[in-house]
Amino acid sequence: MRLGLSQQDLAAIAGVSRQTIGGVEAGQYAPSTAVALRLARALGCQVEDLFWLEPDSLTVEAVPVRHFPAGQSVRLSLAQVGGRWIAYPLQGCDAFRLEMTPADGEGTCEANSPTMPVQLLDDLELLRRTVVVAGCTPAISLWAKAAERWHPGLRVHWTFDNSMSALYRLCRGEVHIAGMHLYDPVTQSHNSSFVQATLQDKAAVVINLGIWEEGLLVQSGNPLSIKTIDDLQRSDVSIVNRETGAGSRQVLEQALQQAGIDCQLVQGFDQIVPGHLEVAQAIAAGRAATGVSTAAIATAFGLGFIPLHRSRYDLVILKPYLDEAPVQQLLGTLGHPRVLSQLKALGGYDTSQTGEVVATIEPPPPPKRRRSQPSAG
């Protein structure tokens, strides 16, 4: 086609029959070495441009994440975490962001099976350079894209989870990094006490991604004149809420408690949506009057914002993962101007501590054994 040749023209130049050309094009005839060389010479290209061997199909044994759908063939993403291959199903929101997510493999998980065979659809070495981050802030995707541009061999897989879900996944060995923004009113600190209680015998470091403003999102122009948390008691105000374990839900519950408002008296308190974007979409579409999210989300959707709390969004990494080259590459970009400028452009992000280690979590020492006392006599 490139040279404007018919089958007969090509056959004449290569010194073969027209039926040979037709058979090759239809995949019904595998040419000899001599015919392949003649065709390549006639078309002005290499033999490898015309004929190639299909790569052998590789299979690895992977551990499916919790709630992996059983008994059906599923497109999935793969990453190596702590020496194990972990399989993440590409379904629902994980299958689509702005475009469909390419699969790394395909496999079927049988019910109650601890592992599953996965037929690879991508290069194994590329998958070994994957870092998996669980978290709820869209800032993770900005960070990931900047890091992948800086390190072309690096790949970051972002799985959307609320703070406690991300921490549990880190504890189960499903991800390298967990993002979280939880406040402990007892210790008056962010995240560390939750990490200590959940990881128990595991050592970890806590690195800051940014400090953000959380508060009530309202429709543009604030038509209902919502000004404080007290307005959530009004009969004309309904909300959308986040699931248990989400930092935004915790901000709402603590604000209601401080104001002396019973959660069950708030319309829509049990109307749950799974993420920051869904909160904003519900308010923008008029399905709710307000809900808790971040100033950056409010800006992105053109919504009004009433601040309630400054939250520290941190990244939790188990110490053994710090020795892995892909993790080092990703964390090494946190202080890069390209990353900081993207976070600042979101609005509502304070990057003064971005990239700093804000806590080190060590497992408690084993209890000392009591020395037995010699018996009298």
pLDDT 10s digits, 211-231: 999 999 999 999 999 999 999
Contact 219, 289 (CB under 8 A): yes
Mean pLDDT value across the chain: 90
pLDDT of residue 71: 87
Range of weakest confidence among 23-37, 171-185, 221-235, 305-319: 23-37
Q: Is the pLDDT of residue 377 over 50?
A: no
116: closest CA among 47, 77, 60, 163? 60
Strand, helix or coil for residue 118: strand
Q: 161: which 2 tokens?
A: 């989870």
Q: How far apart are the C-alpha atoms of 294 and 309, rounded to whole Å?
A: 10
243: closest CA among 136, 128, 150, 339? 136
22: amino acid identity, one letter: G
Q: How far apart are the C-alpha atoms of 240 and 137, rounded to whole Å?
A: 18
335: closest CA among 133, 146, 135? 146
Contact 317, 331 (CB under 8 A): yes
pLDDT of residue 370: 67
User: Tokens 């050592």 label which residue?
Assistant: 203
The predicted-structure confidence for 145-200, as pLDDT tens digits, reads as follows: 999 999 989 999 999 899 999 999 999 999 999 999 999 999 999 999 999 999 98
